[in-house]
Structure 1
């Protein structure tokens, strides 16, 4: 447990990256389910910053982060042990699972950087056929609660995909972690010229924003109710939301804006 295990030969093809992802995922699920007591004991808050690694051989490890700066590959969440005793056990494990899902995707796409668009899409679809780490952990707990013991019925009955589950789990845990869904979905929703969409507007444009959060949101210009089928944009200064048509902002124009200020805030800053 001194340092993280070094990276072996890097996977290059879609099938190699997929196998690496599957093995790491299996290790993380094992740490948070069948080996959860052992994992919990390893994460002593009195120790230094610890990370949970899923390894390419299907095992898991709680270890210090890599010493190289920048690291050889994306690192998992740092210091997971510090929050262990300050949260309910279930909530802490859920938080670790969400971070683990984010790390798995980042590692897979780190290796996939040299793949073309079709291969990246194929890789995502292969990854998306698996339940997420978070879903696997929650599903196992629910089945154990229903049966009073371990259910050996096999695969999860849930058909929810990784992208949707990841989005929902982040929203349910804390608003602080919602930047993951923005990064995750803006990564997947590239415009035709290869540039990233504006993360805030892309989430609303694709209907992914939390319906409960915006069920009573009014346009700052016309006072119309929020509708996920329309393009909306949020002001980064006053945090009000607007119909794109009311402030004359199109999705294409939003792509070019790093920080949007509504007309009122623009006037105040002059």
Structure 2
């Protein structure tokens, strides 16, 4: 007597969808937009307050762009939920090391972009392929946090201050480089004096030669020397250089 045929194996159930609640493309993009604006503001308009809080911290902090358009710094959470953590709870880790301030802020901006993308596609785990493509297109229509930071007056101001504060050794000639000369009086650079660089012609000047002090330079976002200002205005003048 023939043995009974073995029963066909039951089909495998389809893979479980992520437990993330369903969000529409528009809602995810709105969340992305508000968080992005908050992070850009932290690195530009609010940069001084942001940097001051980072410098005063005694432990590693994380930067958060919130869905209401605000930003904040928080210490790391002691307990994280098991499994795949929600990226909204992780934030952007702020570790500076020995980088220049402008480089550090730029690196923070890059990590902000990565964090925003992680959040958006975490929230969009239940979206179909076409919806994910549409979300990606909407996100790519905006400047990244890094692009917005590098294009900001804040970034250029910080870079100019870093450039102004670079000490050039008096022995530059012995290293095969040309000595830095004041474009106004022709004197060589001296380490203890305050110098400022024109953002238009890239020439260096004694602060006293162009009537600018180190304290004033802290508040100048874009400096033009007297020659460049005169050329732009088309006439000579007897006032301080134009600054914006």
Normalising by structure 1, what TM-score?
Answer: 0.47
The answer for the alignment partner of 1:242 in structure 2 is: none
2:69 maps to 1:58? yes
Mapped to 2, the partners of 1:103 and 1:125 lie a distance apart of 17
Match of 1:73 among 75, 82, 86: 86
Unaligned runs of 5+ in 2: 1-19, 161-198, 201-219, 223-244
Partner residue of 1:109? 121
Q: Whose RCO is larger (CA < 8 A, sep 6+)?
A: 2
How far did residue 76 of structure 1 move?
A: 2.9
Q: Does 1:48 align with 2:59?
A: yes
Secondary structure of 2:73's counterpart equals: strand
Cα separation, 2, equivalents of 1:22 and 1:11: 18
Q: Structure 1, residues 129-165: CA drift from partner, whole Å, max 9, x if none?
A: 1000000010013776769649xxxxxxxxxxxxxxx
Quickly say closer, same or farther: Cα 1:26–1:46, change in 2 above 3 A.
closer
CA gap 1:61/1:46 in 2 versus in 1, 3 angstroms: closer
Q: Deviations for 1:52-99, whole angstroms, at most 9, x for unmatched residues?
A: 100000010111233324474112333x1x416x21100000010000
Q: CA contact under 8 A between 1:11 and 1:17: conserved in structure 2?
A: no
| Structural RMSD (CA) | 2.6
CA contact (8 A) 1:45 1:83 kept: no
Q: Out of 18, 30, 39, which is 1:19 matched to?
A: 30
Q: CA deviation at 1:11?
A: 7.1
How many residues of Structure 1 are paired with residues of Structure 2 in the alignment?
A: 139
Alignment counterpart, residue 134 of structure 1, candidates 119, 140, 146: 146
CA distance in 2, matches of 1:11, 1:57: 20
Q: TM-score, normalised by structure 2?
A: 0.51
Q: Distance in 2 between matches of 1:132 and 1:116?
A: 24
SS at match of 1:114: coil
The partner residue of 2:102 within 78, 90, 98 is: 90
Kindly name which structure, 1 or 2, has the bigger radius of gyration based on alpha carbons. Answer: 2
Deviations 1:224-251 (A, max 9, x none): xxxxxxxxxxxxxxxxxxxxxxxxxxxx
Mapped to 1, the partners of 2:22 and 2:36 lie a distance apart of: 15
The answer (yes or no) to whether the contact 2:64–2:92 under 8 Å persists in 1 is: no
Does 2:132 correspond to 1:120?
Answer: yes
- Identify, as 1 or 2, the structure richer in helix: 1
The runs of 5 or more residues in structure 1 that have no matched partner are 1-8, 151-270
Q: Describe the SS at the equivalent of 1:56.
A: coil
Paired with 1:56 and 1:76, the residues of 2 have a C-alpha distance of 13
- Return closer, same or farther for 1:20/1:132 CA change in 2, 3 Å cut-off: same
